[in-house]
Chain A
């Protein structure tokens, strides 16, 4: 994913802190969420970062001021002019005189109204969100006891009906049918509904239902980190079903590994209850308690006792 400098500056949160000072190339592409400090680049040690933004703060300012004017001007101009970066952000009051006086200007220059920390945090956060890799996945995504559970399975297996059941039990719907998945950190993915479908669910025979209106504000949630995947399968496919639950299965999206449970759907099974229990089990495992392994130890202990008695 990438965005142009012009598009970035049009975003409301960005326009509140960054003011364009001199934009020579509005079509410059920002392809990385990392915001670099200008820092050492001023001394000449520099690798090209044509898709990054750079930040020029108090430290850089005092360094530039300590050099003789001609030298400092040259060094900074070089960084700005040869497309070494997509744009440079100067903190307010830290712009060298030769730039602010309207001298030779080149490259993309913005001024931040805020201090270093606020500028760096806000710009990085927004870039993170905008540039995060995204994909859509067929399924239902719910917040169950505060755990983000993605339900997958073939069409017609009853995912939406199950979601309705879970909603009436007090859990929250994030997305029905189409889930947008974003990688927000190297080890974290987030799921949400596409804007058009937010808060809606489709039930065969009923049509499209506005969940928030029918069940209230707490029945939906706009986005959530995905922590577990539950795959629903037909009752007759037992090859991938776990009987004891001692083996852990995983699946991955964007190289982020997530625990996977495969659960067969059969008539008369209270699926919502099973999903709730699966979520409770996940929460226990997260705390380091594995019930299946516990049971295995318990069984071994009893057998051992039995043998000992036989021997004794």
Chain B
């Protein structure tokens, strides 16, 4: 299991479109990917969960990946947040 701490750099926080992007990206991987905010732990592959996080600008989140492709999964997730959740 791998873990990384990131900050939401998106000015508008996690809105509908960026939430969709998170789900799309994490669903590409086989690993279980979780996002943790305070005592909330949600599945990154579920849009309802990501929307519920209501993570605003500068919120600190922990991303957890567990599975065979955890390294590449975590790497891409972190990159996604660093680029402000914009589709390339």
B residues neighboring A (CB under 8 Å):
27, 32, 39-43, 45-49, 51-52, 54
Bound: A200/B43 CA distance, A: 17
Query: With A194-B52, A196-B54 known to touch, is A138 a contact of B43 (CB < 8 Å)?
Result: yes
CB neighbours (8 Å) of A137 from chain B are 41
Bound: A194/B37 CA distance, A: 14
At the interface, yes or no: A197 with Cβ under 8 Å from chain B? yes
Q: Is the CB of A136 within 8 A of B48?
A: no
Bound: A156/B32 CA distance, A: 12
Bound: A296/B48 CA distance, A: 44
Which 5 pairs from chain A and chain B are nearest by CB?
A177-B48, A155-B45, A138-B43, A177-B46, A178-B49
- Across the interface, B46 reaches (CB within 8 A) one of A134, A155, A194, A200, namely A155
Q: Which residue of B lies closest to A202 (CB)?
A: B48
0 or 1 for each of A132-154: is its CB under 8 Å from B? (1 = yes): 00111110000000000000001
Bound: A137/B46 CA distance, A: 12
- Across the interface, A176 reaches (CB within 8 A) one of B27, B40, B48, namely B48
Question: Min CB distance, A279 to chain B, in Å?
Answer: 24
A-B CB contact pairs (8 Å), 19 listed: A135-B41, A136-B39, A136-B41, A137-B41, A138-B42, A138-B43, A138-B46, A155-B27, A156-B45, A177-B43, A177-B46, A177-B47, A178-B42, A178-B52, A197-B52, A202-B46, A202-B47, A202-B48, A208-B47
Q: Is the CB of B52 within 8 A of A134?
A: no
Q: Which of A137, A176, A178, A200 counts the most chain B CB atoms within 10 A?
A: A178
Query: With A134-B39, A135-B39 known to touch, is A196 a contact of B52 (CB < 8 Å)?
Result: yes
Q: Would you call the interface of chain B mostly helix, strand, loop, or mixed?
A: mixed
Bound: A138/B49 CA distance, A: 8
CB neighbours (8 Å) of B41 from chain A are 135-137
CB neighbours (8 Å) of A177 from chain B are 43, 46-49
A residues neighboring B (CB under 8 Å):
134-138, 154-156, 176-178, 194, 196-197, 200, 202, 208
Q: Which residue of A lies closest to B36 (CB)?
A: A136
Q: Is the CB of B27 within 8 A of A156?
A: yes
CB neighbours (8 Å) of B39 from chain A are 134-136
Bound: A156/B54 CA distance, A: 23
Bound: A134/B47 CA distance, A: 21
Q: Which residue of B lies closest to A175 (CB)?
A: B48
Bound: A194/B52 CA distance, A: 8
Query: With A154-B32, A155-B27 known to touch, is A197 a contact of B48 (CB < 8 Å)?
Result: yes
CB neighbours (8 Å) of A135 from chain B are 39, 41
Bound: A196/B40 CA distance, A: 14
Bound: A176/B42 CA distance, A: 12
Bound: A178/B51 CA distance, A: 10
Bound: A178/B41 CA distance, A: 9
CB neighbours (8 Å) of B46 from chain A are 138, 155, 177-178, 202
Bound: A202/B39 CA distance, A: 23
Q: Which residue of B lies closest to A194 (CB)?
A: B52
- Across the interface, A136 reaches (CB within 8 A) one of B40, B47, B54, namely B40
CB neighbours (8 Å) of B48 from chain A are 176-178, 197, 200, 202, 208
CB neighbours (8 Å) of B43 from chain A are 138, 155, 177
Question: Min CB distance, B33 to chain A, in Å?
Answer: 9
Question: Min CB distance, A290 to chain B, in Å?
Answer: 34
Bound: A202/B42 CA distance, A: 15
Question: Min CB distance, A204 to chain B, in Å?
Answer: 9
Q: Which residue of A lies closest to B48 (CB)?
A: A177
Question: Min CB distance, A41 to chain B, in Å?
Answer: 34
Question: Min CB distance, B35 to chain A, in Å?
Answer: 11
Bound: A274/B54 CA distance, A: 36
